[in-house]
Amino acid sequence: MYFDQSIETLPQSQLRQLQSDRLKKLVKYVYERVPFYKNKWDEAGIHPDQIKGIEDLHRLPFTLKTDLRDTYPFGMFAVPMDQVSRIHCSSGTTGKPTVVGYTKNDLDLFAEVNARSLAAAGAKPGMMLHNAYGYGLFTGGLGLHAGAERLGMNVIPVSGGMTDRQLMILQDFGPEVICCTPSYAQRLTEEIRKRNIPVDSLNLKYAVLGAEPWTEVIRHEVEKGLNIQATNIYGLSEIIGPGVSQEAVEERGTGSHVWEDHFFPEIVNPDTGEVLPEGKDGVLVFTTLTKEAFPVIRYWTNDICSLYYDRDSQRTHIKMGQIKGRADDMLIIRGVNFFHTQVEALIEDIPHLAPHYQVIVSREGAMDQVEIKIELDPDYQKETLPAISAEDNLSNQENIRQLTNHLAKKIKDNIGITMKVEIKPGNSIPRSEGGKLSRVVDLRKGK
Ligand code: ADP
């Protein structure tokens, strides 16, 4: 379902024209209002008059997270404080949080893009939304809340954590839609199974999951466990929060539409900053075309993915593939780069394993070591583990040994790194308490 069919299906030539018109206004706006941009562009010898359309965007310098930190807290705001209606912060996953502001119009836009996202995810006016994203400085809770209200839904502002209460609400209130992080959806799926809550006693139909990287493996787990259709929502506070892009429910697995009438995306080479063609992986960079309080030009998100048009989709907006990870979360082990999502993707066709895992990196002497701890699938574990602990059932121990070797070989063949694999019983690896879950433990840090 569309929230705004005319804009979501606007022919690309018209979208380009709209973006160009908006960009031309924007560059003048920020040049006049934000000293950071004026100084940086003057230094680079580029003037807003030289930006004649979206095709000139690549001539402008990038804006980096460090630039936001250097102007902390409000130095990048383009309006006086009395025109700012709200402040949010990034979650601070990678250091000191950055501070962002919204005018009334920006909040309106925030609601609109989240309404579009929810509609694309399957939600309809009149449905009830269980919003388990954190409310507060984090943009997730309030962003989706406003979007749901704009769409005409009934929102339960549950926020993150307090899993018992979440389960009670899911059973008693019967929401059709849930939004939360994918790791928390896993947690809820697991609790429902453990407590023998029949899935058909829940009324859930759709889940809108984001704020951290995830793969098809987790999608299958939560779709099956909750009997729902789960889609990806992406966003970051520096651009607006959630609702920068959204996967359409009928096109699951083929990428998320970036609402590019407001957020213009580019993919650039992480080393040279050169703009890369459709389909190539690189760093995602965004320019906000319509924001007032905190517009950003060519913001270097550090997220790695690709952009491409899906000519089979009714929506004309460009798609982004699933985020592989953040450039600064990329692990470099003995010269090979990898993201934890690559390990997650490899267990897709190993049904005996569950997508609860941790990647532990350590250093022994001069050598970096990686260990993967991963849990057995609970159904498989029931048959297998009691026998293992009895130590006398060699055939089951042999099964685990084979599974371990199988995964280690798959990792070596696909990622190119020898990793130690340890298969663990259920519930031995940390779960999400409601927010983002860190799946990598890097013991080398500070060494
Ligand atoms: P922080 O960067 O401090 O975590 P935010 O809460 O603004 O601050 O989170 C934005 C970041 O979360 C993105 O830059 C990206 O790394 C991650 N993220 C958000 N949505 C997704 C998603 N759907 N898939 C993968 N990563 C995501």
218-243 pLDDT, tens digit per residue, is 999 999 999 999 999 999 999 999 99
CATH of the domain at 322: 3.40.50.12780
Residue 317 shares a structural domain with residue 338: no
Q: Is residue 175 part of a domain?
A: yes
- Ligand 1 centroid–CA 298 distance in Å is 17
Q: For residue 232, which atom of ligand 1 is closest to its CA?
A: 23
Contact 3, 115 (CB under 8 A): yes
pLDDT at residue 391 tops 60: no
DSSP state of 295: -
pLDDT at 392 over 50: no
Shared domain for 409 and 423, answered yes or no, is yes
Clarify whether residues 264 and 335 are in a common domain: no
Q: Are residues 369 and 236 in the same domain?
A: no
- Expressed as residue numbers, the domain containing 77 is 1-327
Q: Is residue 28 part of a domain?
A: yes
Residue 415 contacts residue 408 (beta carbons within 8 Å) = no
Residue nearest to atom 14 of ligand 1 (CA): 236
Report the number of distinct structural domains present in the chain: 2
Give residue 208's pLDDT.
98
Contact residues of ligand 1, CB 6 A cut-off: 90-94, 138, 210-213, 232-237, 301, 303, 323, 326
Alpha carbons 164 and 394: distance in angstroms, whole number: 39
Q: Based on the domain organization, do 157 and 296 belong to the same domain? A: yes
Q: What CATH number does the domain containing 364 carry?
A: 3.30.300.30
Residue 62 in any domain: the answer is yes
Top pLDDT among 386 and 13 is at: 13
User: In ligand 1, which atom is closest to the CA atom of 92?
Assistant: 3
In a domain, 245, yes or no: yes
Q: Where are the beta strands (DSSP E) in 237-335?
A: 241-246, 256-258, 263-268, 282-288, 299-305, 307-308, 319-320, 325-326, 331-333
The pLDDT-based confidence of 396 (bands split at 50, 70, 90) is confident
Please give the distance, rounded to the nearest whole angstrom, from the Cα atom of residue 25 to the centre of ligand 1: 28
Q: Is the pLDDT of residue 126 over 80?
A: yes
Residues 422 and 348 in one domain: yes
Of the residues 284, 305, 327, the one at which a domain ends = 327
Domain end among 296, 327, 358: 327
Evaluate whether residue 37 is within a structural domain. yes
Cα–chain center distance at 341: 12
pTM: 0.95
| Mean pLDDT along residues 376-389 | 65
- Over residues 129-183, the pLDDT tens digits come to 999 999 999 999 999 999 999 999 999 999 999 999 999 999 999 999 999 999 9
Question: How far from 379 is each of 163, 197, 228, 406, CA to CA, in Å?
Answer: 23, 16, 20, 19
What's the whole-number mean pLDDT along residues 336-360? 93
Average pLDDT score over residue span 19-46 = 98
Best residue for ligand 1 mutational test, from 184, 214, 234 (most atoms within 8 Å of Cβ): 234
Helices 394-415 and 378-389 cross at an angle (nearest 10°) of 130
Q: Which atom of ligand 1 is nearest to the CA of 209?
A: 23
Residues 248 and 337 in one domain: no
Query: Given a cut of 90, is residue 23 above it in pLDDT?
Result: yes
> By the 8 A CB rule, do 26 and 297 touch?
yes
Residues 130 and 173 reside in one and the same domain: yes
Among 91, 117, 236, 339, which is best to mutate for testing ligand 1, by the most ligand atoms less than 8 A from CB? 236
Give the residue-averaged pLDDT of 105-123. 99
Question: Span 88-102, mean pLDDT?
Answer: 85
pLDDT at position 426 is: 84
Higher-scoring residue by pLDDT: 375, 447:
375
Q: Which of 300, 290, 240, 260 is nearest to 23 (CA)?
A: 290
Residue 40 within a domain: yes
What Cα–Cα distance (Å) separates residue 207 from each residue in 119, 175, 269? 12, 11, 33
Please, which pLDDT band fits residue 383 given cuts at 50, 70 and 90?
A: low
Query: What does the pLDDT average to over 22-50?
Result: 98
Mutate to test the pocket of ligand 1, among 184, 281, 303, 322 (most ligand atoms within 8 A of CB): 303
Order of strands, edge to edge, in the sheet holding 440-442?
A: 420-424, 367-376, 353-364, 440-442
Shared domain check, 139 and 231: yes
- Any idea which residue has 């970036």 for tokens? 258
CA of 20 to the centre of ligand 1 (A): 27
- On whether both 211 and 264 belong to a single domain, the answer is yes
Domain check: are 293 and 356 in the same one?
A: no
- Ligand 1 binding pocket mutation candidate from 102, 144, 231, 323 (most atoms within 8 A of CB): 323
Residue 447 lies in a domain: no
307 plus 348 within the same structural domain:
no
Domain boundary (327, 354, 380) is at 327
pLDDT at residue 395 in the model: 58
